[in-house]
Amino acid sequence: KQEVTQIPAALSVPEGENLVLNCSFTDSAIYNLQWFRQDPGKGLTSLLLIQSSQREQTSGRLNASLDKSSGRSTLYIAASQPGDSATYLCAVAGSQGNLIFGKGTKLSVKP
């Protein structure tokens, strides 16, 4: 059974810092991996989607990497801003398209 773990559970950094969020999964037979952002009381917003054949994806200040063989992904946020404060969720997709989520990393960026 696929399990997704995110470390750390919470992170507080000063504005301007570069930071890395970690995600690990137990079954490397994944279809793709997605990173989502969730603001308090809101739904999920897709940030980056990495296909199983890809190694990384970039969008603006965000860069996500995928190492299937080791069951790991990282989300790199450059020059963090207070507006980046949210919970970041990692999810892996199986062959049927179902997503399995980690419990998230709650990020707080202090001005």
Least distance to other proteins, CB of residue 14, Å: 27
Q: What angle do CA 29, 32, 36 make, to 5 degrees?
A: 130
Is residue 108 within 8 Å of 14, Cβ to Cβ?
no
Nearer to other proteins, 12 or 45 (CB): 45
**Binders of other proteins: how many residues, by CB under 8 A?**
23
Nearer to other proteins, 93 or 109 (CB): 93
Is 32 one of the binding residues for other proteins (CB under 8 A)?
Answer: yes
Q: Which residues contact 4 (CB under 8 A, 6 or more apart)?
A: 23, 24, 25, 26, 90, 91, 92, 100, 101, 102
Is 64 one of the binding residues for other proteins (CB under 8 A)?
Answer: no
Is 23 one of the binding residues for other proteins (CB under 8 A)?
Answer: no
